[in-house]
Structure 1
Amino acid sequence: MTSPRWRSDVAAPAPATAVLTPAPAMTDVRLSPAALAKVWIGEGRPHETIAVPGVVLAAGEALVQVELATVCGSDVHTVAGHRAAPMPLVLGHEYVGRVTALGAEGARTVDGSRLNIGDRVTWSIFAACRSCDRCRRGMPQKCRALRKYGHERVEAHWELTGGFATHVHLRAGTAIVRVAEELPGAVLAPAACGTATAWAAVAALDDVVDLDGAVLLISGAGLIGLTATAIATERGARVIVSDPDPRRRQQALRFGAAAVHAPGEDLTDVIAELCESEVHAVLEASGARSAVLAAFDAVAVGGAIALVGSVFPTEAVPLDPERIVRTCLTVRGIHNYAPRDLVDAIAFLRGAAGRYPFAELVGAVLPLSELDDAIALARTGEHVRVGIDPRR
Structure 2
Amino acid sequence: MAQTLRKSNSSSNFGYPLAMRSHWQAPNALLGAEVLNALPKWLQQALEDNSAQAMALSEGLSNDNYRLCGSQGDWVLRVNRQQSVWCDRQQELANWRCAAKAGLAPGLIWHSDDNTFYLSQFIIQAKPWSALMGPQAQNNSQDLFMAEHKHLACSSLLDENKPIGLLMDLLRPLSQLPVPDVALTPRVQWQDYFTRLTAITVDTRHVPTSAWQQAFEQLSGLSVQIELWLTQLESCLVANQYCHRDLNPSNLLLVGDRLQCIDFEYATASHPLFELASVIATHQLTPFQVSSLTQQYLAFNPNVNQSGLEAMPAAMNCYWLCCAAWALLMAAERFYSVPPAFTTKKVTTNSSQSLQTYLTYFKEYQQLITI
What TM-score results when the alignment is normalised by the length of structure 1?
Answer: 0.27
**More helix by percentage:** 2
> Max radius of gyration: which structure?
1
Relative contact order, higher structure (CA 8 A, sep 6+): 2
What TM-score results when the alignment is normalised by the length of structure 2?
Answer: 0.28
